[in-house]
A and B are shown apart, each in its own frame.
Chain A
């Protein structure tokens, strides 16, 4: 407790205070970021079903019952969860492998490799999407569940890679050397030293990959077949042809709730890692 207070006073001398203007600007930016999300929550309960009228004329839970019976929405949700799971799993494997290769060894093209991992997310989604689409066509693959996974896994590698490589760099290599000196095999070192060290980073990276995949729409429009509508694709159809506004409103709230869960968990993990 005491050491905490002392640390804080050292970081910020008491003479320094944020000005009122700065506080207001901060508050304004936070409100700007969150009001639209609050509005999504509000509209899920509106009784108005033809316009986006504000303030809502009344509030109701009806639409939650209606969406329960919408098979297309639930199919899209299940497909998105499946795609995100497989893509995350693949990205976790690839991301860790690349991180393991990169973090200590010097080799030709190492910088290029790091760039290569970032590229699918750094380039505009439409470029990544078209590239993947032409790749799928060239390889004569059918557009299906697996082509969506292919695209998602490709741009998800970076989140896992970044987290794992950062953790590996911070971990003293001496632990691994000690393990080897004490006679452990590579597999024992991996099992008892390396994996426990990177576990939380791997998990946080995986969570972010999951959230990224679950939400992705631009690349997906290029890699999915006609039959596969992931949840974002379903939402996009609703957005461009707004006929069932209440359904879209409720779906938006459900999607927001679902995406918040992995973010909050990932946040907790990184917080804990930061405290260690």
Chain B
């Protein structure tokens, strides 16, 4: 007796049918077919070079000949940990931390309003209001701040109109953050960083807020909590992973940026421009590589800590 299965097997199959059956029976082969090209691309062009870059940080430049010695050593790291280089690292990390903190303060109210109160048309418009700056040209937005902060620009005009030039001069006279003018000070650079990365903070906080279940808030108020108490004890802990998720962006992006410190600021060194200079004209590739390991390590540790708070679910 001929079974159904045998009938199917003996039936003559067209090529697409044959292939379909083959694909269905060989999921591993399908997987390999799907991944072959993109994975090869990523490994050859990206992962491989990235590992070689990391390896190069263990090479060093011979002091006399000025050429790269391809021997594993910690010489370059010894150079990295000298006070002038560590100062660059500290400066960059401090800037990144300050930018992150202020971005949280500015982003939170907007994200909170957007997530809890805004409805319908206003909500759509607010979303668009966050997305447009996020996706519009980075360089154009940096350029806008060059216009704003220049001596004859709108910021100084504004200070004069509201008769607050005294406040501006006082800010610029402050040690560390001050400088000769708005566009040649840490203050100016700081404002540009805060501005450029702000949308990256708003969106994850908002995403976390949107996921806070309504019922939890109702339960909290049913149990007699005042709005402020609910905010502190229910909303804030639930939104915290979102804040951490946003801070991953603002922190990492500030650490690695090399355009803003070049275009605006007092030309003191930050990691980005230093790496660019080292791998380019002065040609100390090992030290450049070692410098790039700094943000990678910092972000690696940061990401490990962030994962504990559940920040990745808020991304």
Binding site for B on A (CB under 8 A): 8, 11-12, 16-18, 22-23, 25-26, 28-30, 32-34, 36-37, 39-40, 43, 51-55, 93-94, 97-98, 100-101, 105, 107, 113, 116-117, 119-120, 122-128, 130-136, 138-139, 150, 153-154, 157, 180, 185-188, 208, 211, 215, 217-218, 221, 232, 235-236, 239-240, 242, 248-249, 252, 255-256, 259-260, 263-264, 267, 271
Do the beta carbons of B136 and A100 come within 8 Å of each other?
no
The answer to whether residues A51 and B150 also contact, given A33-B130, A127-B256, A150-B45 and a CB cut-off of 8 A, is: yes
CB-based nearest A residue for B139: A235
Question: Considering the chains assembled together, what is the distance between the CA atoms of A135 and B42 in angstroms?
Answer: 11
Question: Considering the chains assembled together, what is the distance between the CA atoms of A133 and B144 in angstroms?
Answer: 30
Question: Which residues from B are CB-within-8-Å of A263?
Answer: 131-132, 135-136
B137 within 8 A of A: yes
Contacting residues of chain B (30-77) with chain A, CB-CB under 8 angstroms: 31, 34-35, 37-39, 41-42, 44-50, 52-53, 56
Question: Which residues from A are CB-within-8-Å of B147?
Answer: 39-40, 43, 52, 54, 249
Question: Which residues from A are CB-within-8-Å of B253?
Answer: 124
Do the beta carbons of B148 and A39 come within 8 Å of each other?
yes
Do the beta carbons of A52 and B140 come within 8 Å of each other?
no
The residue from B27, B130, B133, B140 contacting A235, defined by CB atoms under 8 A apart: B140
Question: Considering the chains assembled together, what is the distance between the CA atoms of A240 and B265 in angstroms?
Answer: 12
What are 20 A-B interface contacts by the 8 Å CB criterion? A22-B109, A26-B126, A28-B106, A29-B110, A30-B110, A32-B106, A34-B132, A39-B144, A39-B147, A124-B257, A134-B56, A187-B19, A218-B256, A218-B257, A235-B140, A240-B263, A259-B135, A259-B136, A259-B137, A260-B132
Segment with Cβ contacts to A, from B78-86, B113-121, B168-176, B236-244:
B113-121
The residue from A54, A98, A123 contacting B38, defined by CB atoms under 8 A apart: A98
Other A-B pairs, 13, CB within 8 Å; known A26-B126, A54-B147: A26-B110, A29-B202, A33-B195, A34-B132, A124-B252, A124-B257, A126-B258, A130-B289, A130-B292, A132-B45, A136-B45, A252-B143, A256-B140
CB-based nearest A residue for B138: A215
The answer to whether residues A18 and B117 also contact, given A26-B109, A135-B44 and a CB cut-off of 8 A, is: yes
Do the beta carbons of A240 and B262 come within 8 Å of each other?
yes
Min CB distance, B279 to chain A, in Å?
6
The residue from A55, A101, A126 contacting B272, defined by CB atoms under 8 A apart: A126
Of listed B41, B48, B50, residue having the most chain A CB within 10 A: B50
Question: Considering the chains assembled together, what is the distance between the CA atoms of A139 and B145 in angstroms?
Answer: 40
The answer to whether residues A131 and B50 also contact, given A29-B198, A187-B20 and a CB cut-off of 8 A, is: yes
Question: Which residues from B are CB-within-8-Å of A235?
Answer: 137, 139-140, 143
Do the beta carbons of B148 and A101 come within 8 Å of each other?
no
Question: Which residues from B are CB-within-8-Å of A130?
Answer: 53, 275, 279, 288-289, 292
CB-based nearest B residue for A118: B315
Question: Considering the chains assembled together, what is the distance between the CA atoms of A127 and B293 in angstroms?
Answer: 9
The residue from B17, B142, B255 contacting A124, defined by CB atoms under 8 A apart: B255
Min CB distance, B38 to chain A, in Å?
4
Tally chain B residues at the interface, Cβ within 8 Å.
Answer: 88
Do the beta carbons of A132 and B49 come within 8 Å of each other?
yes
Of listed A33, A55, A122, residue having the most chain B CB within 10 A: A33
B229 within 8 A of A: no
Min CB distance, A263 to chain B, in Å?
4
Do the beta carbons of A36 and B148 come within 8 Å of each other?
yes
Of listed B130, B137, B198, residue having the most chain A CB within 10 A: B137
CB-based nearest B residue for A252: B140
Min CB distance, B165 to chain A, in Å?
15
Question: Considering the chains assembled together, what is the distance between the CA atoms of A126 and B276 in angstroms?
Answer: 8
The residue from B126, B130, B256 contacting A125, defined by CB atoms under 8 A apart: B256
Do the beta carbons of B49 and A34 come within 8 Å of each other?
no
The residue from A8, A39, A256 contacting B119, defined by CB atoms under 8 A apart: A8
Min CB distance, A251 to chain B, in Å?
9
CB-based nearest B residue for A135: B49
B90 within 8 A of A: no
Question: Considering the chains assembled together, what is the distance between the CA atoms of A236 and B53 in angstroms?
Answer: 26
Question: Considering the chains assembled together, what is the distance between the CA atoms of A180 and B130 in angstroms?
Answer: 43
Question: Considering the chains assembled together, what is the distance between the CA atoms of A264 and B128 in angstroms?
Answer: 8
Question: Considering the chains assembled together, what is the distance between the CA atoms of A117 and B255 in angstroms?
Answer: 21
Question: Which residues from B are CB-within-8-Å of A119?
Answer: 46, 50
